[in-house]
Amino acid sequence: MEPVGKLAGPGHRLPPAAAGTAERARWWHHVGDGRLQCDVCPHQCQLADGEAGKCFVRVRQGERIVLTTYGLASGFCLDPIEKKPLYHFHPGTAVLSLGTAGCNLSCRPCRTWDEAVAKRVHRMAEEASPRAIAAAAHQWQATSVAFTYNDPAIYPEYAIDIARACHVQDVRTVAVTSGFMMPAVRRELFGVMDAANIDLKGFDEEFYQSFIGGSLRPVLDTLIYVRHRTSTWLEITNLLVPGHNDAPDRLRAMCTWIHDELGPDVPLHFSAYRPDPRMPETGLAASGLAGVPPTPPEALLRAVDIAREVGLRYVYSGGAGTPATGTTYCHGCGAALIEREGHTVQRYRITSQGRCPECRAVLPGAFDDRPGDFGARRIPIRLGN
């Protein structure tokens, strides 16, 4: 069992914005010594009264655990779906992105994970009911809502209620997640998600434990579950951090696992690490990232080559500096089917049945007759505007 987070302890009170918004949480049970165990993610925090879990936002109050961020979201923004990234899910359409506060991992390259930011997001959060979010997506003609700025794995009660409200409005739902969750949560969360981008951060248990603050096996289990047991459309992202998870043999092992366990049709996106200019040198040193340079384009291209060599059909790296790594090619005849520039669809050649017009091979994913025309915009919105 994992120790609880640094905010835990009787002396720590809920952030002010959470007052009155906490909802009784699901997925916990009593353990014999009087503590309550949260069963949402593999950390399985065991909480005394008043303690918060590692994620900051699931807190024991008396004889129950509550989700302090239920109904509190932040960062509402209209984005292109390509930015999640999802390249095979209604290309060119708009997605309403949102997040809450907290995280159950402590990825060293993360730009948002630290106690201060977690608290600040609490203060910035707006009250947002599931129905209000679904109505906003409908009003702004977003075809999907994405749970993206932090991981819906730590607020599944809220994410599931929002997803159900969205489906009433004919709005689709997207989970952008680390996949670090327990089986019961996995079942319910992906039962209401139309698409997911799961972050496979590396392919090494030691890397996950020392660099991510989690473990690899539950993430692999989530990938297998989503691919084989749900109708959720799945894509994968891997952030390449120079010198930490970009060794060619590990990349080859990861891509081979994806090919063998998930199949050749799951799109894989390689993305580039960029040092956070807001992080002081001391912070970089503490996180083990001092002197780590940005991921060079050639490292991205090498990763793309490895993935294609092992047989993955849809491999992308928008930041590699070559349009070819943002283009979707037909696996049957090699024709360019979707050409992109950044997050914008420039050329779209797919039949109304989702086939290649040259050889009629089916392109896996969810496609419309025409791509959306949202473009590369990023439009912050407030609910009710």
Per the annotation, does 356 bind a ligand?
Answer: no
Taking each helix axis as running N to C, give the angle between helix 248-257 and helix 297-309, from 0 to 180 degrees, rounded to the nearest 10: 40
What's the closest the beta carbon of residue 286 comes to ligand SF4, in angstroms? 21
| Binders in 252-291 for ligand SF4, by CB under 6 A | none
Q: Which is nearer to ligand SF4, 59 or 356 (CB)?
A: 59
Q: Is the dihedral of CA 62, 65, 70, 75 positive or negative?
A: positive
Q: Return the C-alpha torsion angle 365, 367, 372, 378, nearest 10.
A: -10
Say how many residues make up the chain: 385
Supply the minimum distance, in Å, between the C-beta of residue 160 and ligand SF4: 14
Task: Report yes or no: 95 and 44 within 8 Å, Cβ to Cβ.
Answer: no
241 near ligand SF4, judged by CB under 6 A: no
d(CA 268, CA 356) in angstroms, rounded, equals 20
Instruction: Select the residue interacting with ligand SF4 from 53, 71, 91, 218 (CB under 6 A).
Output: 53
Cα-Cα-Cα-Cα dihedral sign, residues 283, 285, 286, 288: positive
Question: Does residue 54 bind ligand SF4 (CB under 6 A)?
Answer: yes
- Give the whole-angstrom CA distance, residue 23 versus residue 40: 15
Interaction of residue 55 with ligand SF4, rule CB under 6 A: yes
Measured from each CB, the residue nearest to ligand SF4 is 53
Q: Can residue 60 be called a binding residue for ligand SF4 (CB under 6 A)?
A: no
Specify whether the CB–CB gap between 261 and 315 falls below 8 A: no
Rank residues 44 and 61 by Cβ distance to ligand SF4 and give the closer one. Answer: 44
Q: Report the Cα–Cα distance between both ends of the chain, in Å, rounded.
A: 45
Q: Is 255 annotated as contributing to ligand binding?
A: no
Q: Is 179 in the site for ligand SF4 (CB under 6 A)?
A: no
As a whole number of angstroms, the longest Cα–Cα distance in the chain is: 66
Residue 44 found at the interface with ligand SF4 (CB under 6 A): yes
Listing from the earlier edge strand, what are the strands of the sheet with 328-329? 328-329, 336-341, 344-348
Distance of CA 96 to the CA centre of its chain: 14
Backbone angles phi, psi at 207, to 5 degrees: -60, -45
Applying CB under 6 A, does 43 fall inside the site for ligand SF4?
yes
Residue 107 among known ligand-binding residues: yes
From the list 7-15, 54-62, 83-91, 198-206, the region that binds ligand SF4 by CB under 6 A is 54-62
Question: Which residue in 18, 96, 154, 356 binds ligand SF4 (CB under 6 A)?
Answer: 154
Cα(67)–Cα(78) distance, integer angstroms: 26
Single residue of 68, 93, 100, 104 touching ligand SF4 by CB under 6 A: 104
Count of residues near ligand SF4 by CB under 6 A: 12
Q: Min. distance of Cβ 57 from ligand SF4 in angstroms?
A: 7
Q: Which residues are annotated as a binding site?
A: 103, 107, 110
* Residue ranges binding ligand SF4 (CB under 6 A): 38, 40-41, 43-45, 53-55, 58, 104, 154
Q: Which residues are annotated as a binding site for [4Fe-4S] cluster?
A: 103, 107, 110
